[in-house]
Structures are given as structure tokens and as C-alpha cells.
Amino acid sequence: MTTEQDADEIPDYATGLRLDDTVHVVLGAGMGIGRQAAHALGAVGARVVCVDVDPDRARTVAAEVAGVAWSGDLTQRADVEALFAFVGAELGRLDGVVDIVGGARYKPLIDLTDEDWTFHHDIVLRHAYLAIEYAAKHWRATGTGGTMTFVASVTGLESAPMVAAYGAHKAALLSLVRTAAVELGPDGIRVNAVAPGIVRTPRAQANPRWTPDLLAANVAKTPLRKLAYPADIAGPILFLAGRLSSHVTGQTLTVDGGNMILYNVDSPTP
């Protein structure tokens, strides 16, 4: 009988958790998932560029993580171009982009206006394809690779009432992630997404739509029997942005407490 010797080198997995001497840009860093993602990246050594449309929020989070603040409207091409020019000129490198920007208007499908559809295109999709364009141009020009991680939503994978435009554009975002991964992979650029379910962000907690009864009903049907907080999403973002996921691209990681694995019928609960 022949015994084969495994001669593969054992990586330093613990060091693979670190992001020292790297620069990561967080789009929408001012609160919620973005703020937690900035802290997660900063905690393992990354220098974080904290980007938010609100300059005060950008400065506050940048101070918390010893990062760099930048403010602009990421739905505008000129602002996105200026951001990546700033990162290249002032910080000298770019290793990763995390894009948290998003928002929804809750309306029945037949009540959505053209302006509602335009709003969702801008707040869900436009900033994403602009970020991909300018980050990829930077990496191609410098001959380096990097990572891009987008926050999508389970509404882009399944369906829910009142979020037709939001869900349609999140589905488009996931398609964009896959196509970008295919086209940019030869340049050493990885593109992935996380798809959260309900997250208790500051904005969500302030939304009167989320009544205690509605939240309790969602907890009751979630296998883990809890809702997510922003930190629950920041952890998977950190994994996809780091070296331990170096062979992962074009993927969407669902982070919803198990909701999508549960067949939606009434049945006895053990």
C-alpha cells in the first residue's frame, strides 16, 4: 500500500486575519452596518477611508477608527471619480472597497412612481457600478488587485411585499457582482456580496413600519430566533474583504439567521 505525503505548506492562518498596511474604503460608513464595517476593518490593521454623504458622520467614524474622512454624493459620477483620485493621490494605494449604501421606499408595486424607480436605481445600483468602474481602473493602472464587497439584501434573492423597486435593484446588484467578478478576476480583483435579512440598524429602528408585533413575528419565524444587528453583518464583510477568502469571488453570502432555509408553511415546532 502506498502512502502519499501531503507536502503543502501550512499557511499562517492567524496572520491571514490581519489587514496591516492596507487601505480600505467604506462607502456609507457613517452609521449602522457601515460604521461597524469600518471598525471591523480597522480592528485588524487596515487604514479605513470613511465615506458618507454627511460630513459630520464621516468625521465621527473616521475619528473612532483612526481613519480618514471623505464626504460626497456617491450617486454622482464626479464625486466617485474624485474619491478614488483622492485615495490614490493621498494614500498611495487601494486594497479594498466595501459598499454599504442603500435605502428603500415601502410602497405597493402599482403605486410606485417613476421618481421612486429612479430613487432606487441611484441609491441601490448607481453608486455600485460607479465604484466598480473607478476602483477597477485604479487597480488596472497600478497593476494591483483588490477586493470589493457589496451589501445587498435577501429581497434580491426572494420576494416580499412593498419592496418591488428595492428588490428588483438589489437583484440587479447581485447580477452586477457576478459579472464584475468574471470580468475583473483576471486582474486579481475579487467581487462579492452579503445579503442580510432584517437588520436592526439605527435607521430601521426609527422606522414606524417596524412595530413591536412585526418584529416579534419575524423573530418567531427565524431559526436562530433573533434579528441581526449591524455587527452581525460586519463580520462576514470582514471575511470577504480579507485574505482568508482569497479564492472566493462572485458569491453572495446570505446573513439572515436562517430565514431563507425555512419553508414558509405552518408546522409543529419542536
The active-site residue out of 13, 106, 166, 263 is 166
The active-site residue out of 107, 129, 170, 226 is 170
50 CB burial (10 A radius; 0-12, 13-18, 19+): buried
Which of 126, 119, 116 has its CA nearest to residue 150? 126
Which of 165, 149, 61 has its CA nearest to residue 100? 149
The span from the CA of 164 to the CA of 174, in Å, is 15
Residue pair 204/228 in contact (Cβ under 8 Å)? The answer is no
Q: List C-alpha distances in Å: 129 to 48, 52, 102, 150.
A: 21, 17, 13, 11
- Give yes or no: 137 in active site: no
- Give yes or no: 170 in active site: yes
- Count of other CB atoms within 10 angstroms of residue 269: 6
| Catalytic residue annotation | 166, 170
